[in-house]
Amino acid sequence: MTNLISVIYEDDSLLVLDKPAGLVVDPAETVKSKTLADILQKDFGIKLLRGGIVHRLDKDTSGLILAAKTQDALENLQSQFKERVVRKEYLALAHGFITEGGIIDAAIARNPENREKFIVMEGEEAREAVTEYEPLERLQFTGDRLQEVFFGFNKIQFKKLSTTHYNLFTFLRCKPKTGRTHQIRVHLKYIGNPVVADERYAGRKTYRLDKRWCPRQFLHAAKISFKHPKSGEWMEFESGLPEDLKKALSYLSS
Annotated catalytic residues are 58
Instruction: Return all residues near 167 (Cβ < 8 A) that are at least 6 apart.
Output: 140, 141, 146, 161
> Strand 168-176 vs strand 108-111: parallel, antiparallel, or unpaired?
unpaired
